[in-house]
């Protein structure tokens, strides 16, 4: 994401989010949010099974960012891994809000507040709660 997303916009804070989850056995998903525009896509075996774009309210974006910050997402480590497990799921998250930024990845391992973060994200976009579930 460009450094321009770090700029303040009309006194408010600009949100940029890029989340990608890939699964060896199941579907993969990608979610992008830039300001108030959001896109989500889910694929299975290389075929798109769901795709959407939506416009979010500034209030919803601001509330999401505040809740994410309260979860400690901006303090997540760079990489989470669960050793001794082959195949499975890998993920990458880049999140920018105001002056805060996190880039984190994982291979079959997740931060402690991962389920809460995914719940907030799917709620923001109006997606089904299991949208980011990649293992079948």
- CATH no. for residue 56? 3.30.1560.10
pTM over 0.75: yes
Give the pLDDT band of residue 25 (cuts 50, 70, 90). confident
Give the pLDDT band of residue 134 (cuts 50, 70, 90). low
Q: Does residue 136 fall inside a structural domain?
A: no
Q: Does residue 132 fall inside a structural domain?
A: no
What are the angstrom distances between the C-alpha of 2 and each of 11, 81, 135?
A: 19, 28, 31
Output 134 or 68, whichever has higher pLDDT: 68
Q: Structurally, how many domains does the chain consist of?
A: 1
Output 83 or 119, whichever has higher pLDDT: 119
**Contacting residues for 43 by C-beta, under 8 A, at least 6 apart:** 27, 28, 29, 49
Q: Does residue 26 fall inside a structural domain?
A: yes
> Of 80, 33, 108, whose CA–CA distance to 41 is shortest?
33
């Amino acid at each position: 994401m460009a450094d321009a997303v770090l700029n303040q916009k009309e006194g408010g804070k600009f949100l940029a989010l890029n989340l990608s989850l890939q699964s060896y056995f199941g579907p993969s998903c990608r979610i992008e949010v830039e300001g108030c525009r959001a896109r989500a896509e889910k694929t299975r075996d290389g075929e798109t099974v769901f795709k959407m774009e939506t416009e979010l309210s500034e209030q919803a974006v601001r509330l999401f960012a505040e809740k994410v910050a309260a979860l400690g997402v901006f303090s997540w480590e760079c990489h989470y891994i669960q050793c001794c497990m082959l195949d499975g799921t890998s993920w990458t998250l880049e999140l920018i809000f105001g002056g805060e930024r996190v880039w984190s990845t994982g291979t079959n391992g997740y931060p402690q507040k991962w389920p809460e973060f995914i719940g907030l994200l799917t709620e923001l976009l109006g997606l089904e709660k299991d949208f980011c579930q990649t293992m079948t």
